[in-house]
Structure formats: C-alpha cells, structure tokens
Amino acid sequence: MDPWNTPLADPPRFAAYVDTLSDALGHADRVAPLKAYCTGLLLPGARKSIEPMAARIAPARVQATHQSLHHFVAKGEWSDTALLARVRAAVLPMIESQGPIQAWIVDDTSFPKKGRHSVGVGRQYCGQVGKQDNCQVAVTLSLANAQASLPVAYRLYLPEAWALDPERRRKAGVPAAIRFQTKPQIALDQIRAAHADKLPPGLVLADAGYGIDTAFRTALTELGLPYSLGIQSSTSLWSPGTTPLPPKPWSGRGRPPTRVRRSPDHKPLSAEKLARSLPEEAWQCVTWRAGTNGLLVSRFAAERVRPAHRDELRHEPRPEEWVLIEWPQGEAAPTKYWLSSLPPETPLTELVSQTKLRWRIERDYQELKQEIGLGHYEGRGWRGFHHHASLCIAAYGFLVSERGRIPPSASEFVRLQTPVLPADYRPRGAPDPARASRA
C-alpha cells in the first residue's frame, strides 16, 4: 500500500506527530490551525492554496476557516527554523532506522509566477519550464540516504533587483537582515547552520550551479565536509600528473615571486578536452541503482586532477580531487561532469553510486509539489511564502515517517476522509448560478 498516490494516515499517529511540532509555534492558539493546515495539505485535492483547503477541512464554515488559516500562515509570528528543527527531530530517526545519512543535497526549486509583486519574483531561470521565465526560486538543503530524504532548510532566493528595492521589500515584508546573496552563499549559510546543529554528516551533493563556485567548494573543505558537485564541460583542470609551474626564480630585486604560474605550452585544459583525451580503457560501464524501467547503467571515467580556476593568484596548487565524467554509450560527447573530494582510494562504482544519490532531491520536489502543494501558495509576502513551505515540509515529513512503517511491520493505514462540501458552496470569485439564470 503506497501512501504517495493517495494520502493515507493513521489519525492517532498524525495527531501525535502534530503534537510534537506544536511547541515550536510559541502559542497554544496556533496548534489548531497547524493541525488544520497540515490536514489540508494531506487531503486529496488538486489545489492546496488556503481557500480550497478551508473548504475541504471545514465545509460548514469555510469563510471563518479561511480567515484563521490565512492569519496563521501570512501573519503568524512563529519561527520557520524552529518548526523545521522539530520536523527533523521527529522524522530523521525514522530515516536513519533504514540506514545512516549518506548525503546533504543542495538544490533550488522554482515556481512560475505572473506579475511582479509576489516576493522575489523575477525573470530568471525556471527549472520547472526549462528556460528563463517569471518565477520565484528557493534554495533547499535535504538530508538523505538511499531509502528516504527530508528537506531541513528552505529559503527564497531574492534577486538583486528585489534586494535593492526598498519599496518592494517593505510591501512584501522582507526582513531588514536579508541582503542579496547568490544561491551558493544561501546554501553555505544552510550548511553551516546544519553543521553547527551537529546534524548527521554526509557527502554534499549539488549541480553545476554550485559546483562551479570555487568559494563554495573551498568552504565545504574548511568545514570538513566531502562533496561531489557538478561542474561544466568548460571547467579548467590540470590533467593527471600535472600541476602549475612553480613561482618564477627571484631576480634579486624586489619581493621574491610566490605565485604559481602557467605558460603557453604548460596550461590546464577543459573538462571536455580531458574526457576526449582519455584512452578507451579508462571508461567502464557502471550500474548504480534500479530505476522505474530497470537498472540504471552508463559509462564513466574518473581521474585525479587539480582544479585550475584562477590558481595563478595562489601561492600553491590546489589539492588533487576526482573528476568524474559520464559519457553514455552512443552519445557524441560526455553528458555530465563532477568534482569530488572523496578519498583517492574510492572505487569507481562507489564514486558513481554516491554521486548519483542526488536523484533523491528530485523525488522530494516531485512529491512536495504534486502531492503536498508546495507551489500553491497565493500570497505575496516573505513570511507567508516561508510559512507555507515549512508546513508543506512538515506534512511531507509525516508521509516520510509513514512510508517508513510500510511492510513488513506496517499496520493498516486509515484513509484521511475529505468532508462533503455543502451543495451551495461556491469558491470566491465563482459566478452565482441563481444570478446568472436571472440575467
């Protein structure tokens, strides 16, 4: 029995789960709307914005429920950080019972939006449509093993045009402390907070939007966190066995040169050129997991290299890392590249399987958006955007816990029932049938 296709739950377990979260809200009056909102997110329904949820939760008093939920989400002064901390405290033990945490997965997710007034909206790359479009983008950090994952941090990316616009900030309620940060900078804040909270460590995984940021990789190393991060085909690397030239000999005048250097005949090459220069025996077929249509298999090569980005400003070469390259059989060019700080003795099969664990974040987003309604919030403010997301993660955390109970030890789930709507219920803005017939 799969709780992901139709939301299922054991009501006593759901009530107990909500009770564990309620102390994070800071006021007893917020417990009832917390339970109501999470219930609305878990009930079947195509739309998980406030009014449709109010109609499903309390069909006899839709307007009052709508006002209560709207105030709770858009205006309530409770902490997203505190709520997410309670969620992970409740859910991570269930995930870890199926195996230790293996990865910290960084990613961003986007929500297409019309207009210009919703907080953080702007024309930027929208992964949901695969091109530049008007959207909001949030940066997330998830903890994962091969069986399950859970977002533990979530923050809106505020484009520079928004960050520097005091009027739009005021209308959207953007906190004064929020300044423009790149997505890797936001992700680093989330990682540092998780590290400070002593969350179970894991391999940091992210796509090339983060992996090409040298400062991001350097900061992870300083924190003692290994990583496998996507890079672009154009990323410059010193090929195996080569390094930058040593500093120039001192001429006897001025300060002695200390920076490493390159020359026209001694310089790094792109990741793609390196891949094309490798001999045929460097490539191996690796199977890393079972997919929906069978085993996932592709062709990979891994070499020990040194990243070369702006290293002529350094006094010593960067440390060696793995470059992992995927070049599927039959493709005209390699399709993916990663830099990894996993140990030199790591076998290729393990390097691939650990790096490919990033697929879990795609499962998170698919379920959070399709099942829970992560992108359905219709308000414009900073607080409401983050409150809705935190509550979606809380509801998702309950489903993750329930999935952990599935056979052999699972008891029967009880289906959450949607109350029947009154015959005369009409959503706001819908035409009045009686008035239309008179016209």
The tokens of 382 are what? 């900073």
Contacting residues for 19 by C-beta, under 8 A, at least 6 apart: none
Kindly tell me the sign of the dihedral angle through the C-alpha atoms of 226, 229, 234, 240.
Answer: positive
State phi, psi for 48 to the nearest 5 degrees: -115, 35
Say what the pTM is.
0.88
> Angle of helix 382-403 relative to helix 11-22, nearest 10 degrees?
140
Report the relative pairing of strands 284-291 and 227-231 from DSSP bridges: unpaired
DSSP 209-242: HHHT-HHHHHHHHHTT--EEEEE-TT-EEEPTT-
Q: What is the chain's pLDDT, residue by residue, as a tens digit (439 residues)?
A: 333 333 344 578 899 999 999 989 988 889 999 999 999 999 988 899 999 999 998 888 899 999 999 999 999 999 999 999 999 999 999 999 999 999 999 999 999 998 888 999 999 999 888 889 999 999 999 999 999 999 999 999 999 999 999 999 999 999 999 999 999 999 999 999 999 999 999 999 999 999 999 999 999 999 999 999 999 999 999 999 999 888 888 877 888 888 888 888 899 999 999 999 999 999 999 999 988 888 999 999 999 999 999 888 888 889 999 999 999 999 999 999 999 999 999 999 999 999 999 999 888 889 999 999 999 999 999 999 999 999 999 999 999 998 877 654 444 334 444 555 455 545 554 455 454 444 4
d(CA 141, CA 205): 10
The tokens of 6 are what? 């139709």
Kindly tell me the sign of the dihedral angle through the C-alpha atoms of 404, 409, 411, 413.
Answer: positive
d(CA 227, CA 50): 39
State phi, psi for 368 to the nearest 5 degrees: -65, -35
d(CA 311, CA 249): 18
Q: What is the reported pLDDT for 439?
A: 42
Residue with tokens 């959450």: 416
Q: Which DSSP state fits 394? A: H
State phi, psi for 333 to the nearest 5 degrees: -150, 160
Nearest to 103 by CA among 202, 201, 226: 202
Q: What is the largest CA-CA distance in the chain?
A: 100
Residue with tokens 């991570």: 92
Residue 366's H or E segment, with its range, is helix 359-367
Q: What's the distance, Cα to Cα, between the start and end of the chain in Å?
A: 51
Show the DSSP H helices in 62-110 as ranges. 62-70, 80-96
Q: Which long-range contacts (CB under 8 A, 24 or more apart) does 275-281 make?
A: 275/301, 275/325, 275/327, 275/334, 275/337, 277/239, 278/303, 278/325
d(CA 8, CA 422): 24
Q: What is the reported pLDDT for 412?
A: 39
Q: What is the reported pLDDT for 411?
A: 40
Q: What is the reported pLDDT for 426?
A: 52
| Omega prior to 408 cis, within 30 of 0 | yes
